[in-house]
Amino acid sequence: MLQFFAKYKFFGIVLLILSAIIITIMYQALNPKKVLPVYQPTDVTTELVDSTVQHVKKYHTIADFSLTNQNGEQITQKDYEDKIYVADFFFTTCQTICPVMTDHMVKIQKELQQENDVLLLSHTVTPEIDSVPQLKKYALEKGVDDQKWNLVTGSKKEIYNLARKSYLAAKDLPYSEYDLIHTENFVLVDKKRRIRGFYDGTNPDEIARLLEDIKVLKAE
């Protein structure tokens, strides 16, 4: 009997390895790894996309920017280099959706406090009102962590272009140059400056989905 097992030992080991490989392949087929889509302007309703980029089907990335945060510091794309981040548009005097959105950003900040490669970025759509002191006051009231979350202001033209041409997150007001209506969307941006998701910033279920999708991005 021992001679029999010794004779077929090699065959048994090979069969065991093949079985393990087959089981692994079947498991991966039945439980595919989640991959987030890469959004292009053509994937988004034209209402939220500037006419100059509505035709873009691939290679869309967030443009370079230079804005000023709540501490009077210049913030550029370099500060977000090799980072995953969540972007949105708001204004400090908003009394409708902004307070809910900000509360949800605070929740995201808390959940991701120890995640050094994930940041937040909120752009004011009323830079004429939201000066650096006003943003600082708002940041202190809301508990913004300066190391994690920048509230930024700048020229209305630059913010308009970022919202409409880069983040695809605002509606145009064609009768008033560089004015827009921001949406409730939170935009998930990966380390290559590509849009990987849109989320309703007023919906707790969407915030939960956003946090899960950040885990997916970190695993890529």
Which residues does the annotation place in the binding site?
94, 98, 182
Rounded to 5 degrees, φ, ψ at 119 are -125, 175
Residue stretches of the annotated binding site for Cu cation? 94, 98, 182
| CA distances (Å), origin 208, targets 29, 37, 97, 145, 211 | 26, 18, 18, 21, 5
178 phi-psi bin (left φ>0, alpha ψ -120 to 50, beta other): left
Beta strands in 18-141 (DSSP E): 66-68, 74-76, 84-90, 118-124
Longest dimension (CA), the chain: 91
Q: What's the sign of the alpha-carbon dihedral 19, 25, 30, 32?
A: positive
Interatomic CA distance for residues 172 and 177, integer angstroms? 9
